[in-house]
Amino acid sequence: MGGCRMNQGIKKTFIAGVFWGVLEKFSVLFVGFFITILLARKLTPADYGLVNMLYIFTLLANVILDAGFGQALIQKKTVTDQDTSTVFYFNVVFSLFLYGLLYALAPYIAQFYRQPLLTDIARVSFLMIPVNSLCIIQHVLLTKNLKVKELTIVSVSASFVSGVIGVFLAYTGHGVWALVFQGLTLQVVRAMILWTVGGWTPRWVFQLESIRSIWNFSLNILGVGFLSAIFQNIYTVIIGRFYNVNEVGFYNQAQRLESVASTAITSSIQRVSFPAFAALQDNKERLREAFKKVMDLAMYVHLPVMIGVIAVAHDLFLLLLGEKWLPSVPYFELLCIASAMYPLHMINVSVLKGVGLGKLYFRLEAVKRGLIVAFIFLTVRYSIYILLVGYVIATVSSTFLNMYCCGKAVEYKLIDQLKDLLPTLGCNLLMYCSIQLFHLCAFSPMYRLSLDIIGGILIYVLASYLLRVKPFFHLLNIILKRC
């Protein structure tokens, strides 16, 4: 009975976490859409290109500070004030070292990209690193305790304030600096709110034993995070080096909108699935059932979003960003194809981390990165489009490998995972074909986009009902209970 009550408690907390996470993502999405539209219509692709050339360096620094020890503190069953305070002081000191190093390297980064203005931009942008180090522990503790409501307040508030600052600077003629200070303001506001709602302050204690106790797990997660950061931005680096700054802007705008679509739902599930799976790591049967339900539900909600935005991509970019951003559309479509399988990758990875298989997780990620490197060498000489086709092939291949290995670990085979997804895939195929038929109507882009969205949703819901798709009824039951 006690175990059953514990499992029910985890389930309720998980569902509440997903609810608040989805609310957060849609709130940030709502704010972000308006900010993106306003900024993209005022700024140039070159402005976006310059800022995004530096993103890999900021991300790598934050991965070193957060991904290893932060994830380890979430996975660790018992965390003391000594552990959190020690990691906090380590992060702050090391972040100052990283900022000093990158400050000195700024001229060489500008030389690599052949963009002299990057020296000053880099030295201001990299201030985000020490600012972020001040609130990592607060974020970790809120995540570990599934306090997604508080995290929602943090994300929405920081996005809104930084967006207002960015728009103001853009429309007062500050160009690329609008994007620079938007990013910096985001981190400052985020840190301030996390200190307010986090409910934690560091003690004056530092013990190396706390670092040693989480070192082995941290090292594997840090390795994966480091690889992920590099390969998440490797195409920006390659395009910036071998093509031009405008193409970097087109690619990154496509990546930005794809990321909004692909993570609107799944990142909310990812945030709570790792700690929830970790809590079930000693009961393989319950873990497998939770794994199956979460994957089915995530794909049911995520896949129609990705298929839908692929179907309406041209009109979406034209109406939201303007005609000057239409070269981004082919890149956007390819990135969305790769991201359509993101929940399969993300949930399998959460299971591996939740049961402590950090080494297997690292090896699978290393294989994925190896495939990406191989396809980069094969395709970079042709065009950016062919380069991204290679990325799609590498991503799909590695996702199937993740599903196979994780399926063996929890006794949920790859073929069984795919069979369970067939009804959802059928509904999405029907929705996509219907939207293509809607395109035959000679409406203006605005009316055509409205018809595509409304008609696509109705077709998907109707098909789900008629085909008795299980995740549809599970989701409907959750909604009705909350109403």
The region of weakest confidence among 19-28, 132-141, 314-323, 465-474 is 19-28
Share of the chain above pLDDT 70, in %: 85
pLDDT recorded at residue 186: 93
pLDDT recorded at residue 104: 95
- Helices 284-311 + 414-438 axis angle, to 10: 20
In the predicted structure, residue 2 carries a pLDDT above the cut 60:
no
- The rounded distance, in Å, linking the Cα atoms of 404 and 410 is 10
pLDDT recorded at residue 180: 94
The region of weakest confidence among 203-207, 312-316, 397-401 is 203-207
In the predicted structure, residue 109 carries a pLDDT above the cut 50:
yes
CA distances from 210 to 62, 82, 414 (A): 20, 7, 38
- 64-97 pLDDT, tens per residue? 777 667 777 776 767 777 878 888 888 888 889 9
User: Model confidence at 279, in pLDDT bands (50, 70, 90)?
Assistant: low
Q: Where are the alpha helices (DSSP H) in 312-357?
A: 313-320, 329-339, 342-354
Is residue 245 a contact partner of residue 253, using CB atoms and an 8 Å limit? no
- The rounded distance, in Å, linking the Cα atoms of 345 and 341 is 7
pLDDT recorded at residue 156: 85
The model scores a pTM over 0.85: no
In the predicted structure, residue 275 carries a pLDDT above the cut 50:
yes
Instruction: Tell me the residue length of the chain.
Output: 483
Is residue 247 a contact partner of residue 384, using CB atoms and an 8 Å limit? yes
In the predicted structure, residue 379 carries a pLDDT above the cut 60:
yes
- The rounded distance, in Å, linking the Cα atoms of 459 and 308 is 12
The region of weakest confidence among 104-108, 218-222, 254-258, 262-266 is 262-266
User: Model confidence at 139, in pLDDT bands (50, 70, 90)?
Assistant: confident
Residue 268 or 179, more confident: 179
Share of the chain above pLDDT 90, in %: 26
pLDDT recorded at residue 12: 57
Residue 47 or 232, more confident: 47
User: Model confidence at 413, in pLDDT bands (50, 70, 90)?
Assistant: confident
pLDDT recorded at residue 403: 83
The mean pLDDT value for 282-305 works out to 77
- The rounded distance, in Å, linking the Cα atoms of 281 and 355 is 5
Phi, psi of 467 (to 5 degrees): -85, 0
Name the nearest CA neighbour of 92 among 71, 58, 64, 72. 64
Average pLDDT, the chain: 82
pLDDT recorded at residue 141: 80
User: Model confidence at 268, in pLDDT bands (50, 70, 90)?
Assistant: low
- 19-64 pLDDT, tens per residue? 665 666 667 777 877 888 899 889 999 999 999 899 889 888 888 7
In the predicted structure, residue 353 carries a pLDDT above the cut 50:
yes
pLDDT recorded at residue 6: 46
pLDDT recorded at residue 89: 87
pLDDT recorded at residue 81: 79
pLDDT recorded at residue 19: 62
